[in-house]
Structure 1
């Protein structure tokens, strides 16, 4: 739902930007900056959504040839690496960046930069949650160790 709302607001912002520039001959100063931040938020929330649905790209042709035990171990190692990356870069790094820029004013919007950077820890926490969820599902045997990336043939 967040991705749909962000995309809709992004489209409306860009449409207004083009309309104001081309039709009204008076470009809006705030639309460009808002569109940039909306695009970043949409990208990060979209990445978290794709990760949650196990729709990310995986080069897994070697792993699929391994015995089931090694395939599970590899999948768990990958999930652990994703948790480490998300915790270090997105959550910890995102909080540090947000904290350092909390009072920094934006030129085109009546806001500060810090709250806009909170998208990093938010999506990092979502990714960590789903990495743990998928790891537990693989351990229980509820999910395949490697997501099915083959296209469905009708």
Structure 2
């Protein structure tokens, strides 16, 4: 199981990176053809938007896992430790629930666009392929929210990096503890 979580982490990072770099390359090619060759390509915008959208949606989960999302902690910082645990658990559960709701709802959007046969104008890619990133990205984001909620409920204040492996180890131990001490333990 630990290998599975590491594999997922590598796939996410690699895929988001390749898609982002691909978007940058396509964008630079578009600038080159437009301003140097004076012969802009019509397909560049669609491909650029497709690559960057996929990169961003896959990156949502990565950003949450690495605590890189914007957080407003003005009130959170003044709460007592016990209340912080409760607030963090509830807020992460809400975030996870909302993410899974979006993932589930997007399946209807994919089904509808597939039935209608809608395609992009310039390239002719079926639009449902673009929409596939919604359940994937939101599913990963929801998963990481629930991991954070679990850790917040346990009172573990350590970073989310490596949390999946620790969660797996704690499930293997069966005692609810991963054998490693978190911050403040």
Same fold flag (TM > 0.5): yes
Given the alignment of the two structures, is residue 65 of structure 1 paired with residue 78 of structure 2, yes or no?
yes
Given the alignment of the two structures, is residue 95 of structure 1 paired with residue 104 of structure 2, yes or no?
no
- Which of 34, 44, 51 in structure 2 is aligned with 1:31? 44
SS at structure 2 position matched to 1:101: helix
Deviations 1:69-118 (A, max 9, x none): 211110011011101211122x0222122111122111111410001111
Q: Which moved more, 1:70-79 or 1:39-48?
A: 39-48
Structure 2 match to 1:44:
57
Give the unaligned 5+ runs of structure 1: 146-154
Supply the distance in 2 between the matched residues of 1:24 and 1:39 (Cα, whole angstroms): 24
- Which of 135, 145, 152 in structure 1 is aligned with 2:149? 135
- Which of 116, 125, 134 in structure 2 is aligned with 1:120? 134
Given the alignment of the two structures, is residue 111 of structure 1 paired with residue 125 of structure 2, yes or no?
yes
Does structure 1 retain, via aligned residues, the 8 Å contact 2:86–2:153?
A: no
Structure 2 match to 1:86:
99
Structure 1 match to 2:66:
53
Q: Which moved more, 1:36-45 or 1:121-130?
A: 36-45
Q: Which moved more, 1:57-66 or 1:110-119?
A: 57-66
Structure 2 match to 1:152:
none
Supply the distance in 1 between the matched residues of 2:125 and 2:21 (Cα, whole angstroms): 21
Does structure 1 retain, via aligned residues, the 8 Å contact 2:30–2:41?
A: yes
Moved over 4 A (4+): none
Deviations 1:21-51 (A, max 9, x none): 2233321111111112222222222222111
Q: What is the TM-score of this pair, normalised by structure 2?
A: 0.71
Structure 2 match to 1:149:
none
Q: What is the TM-score of this pair, normalised by structure 1?
A: 0.84
Count matched residues: 144
Structure 2 match to 1:3:
16
RMSD: 1.8
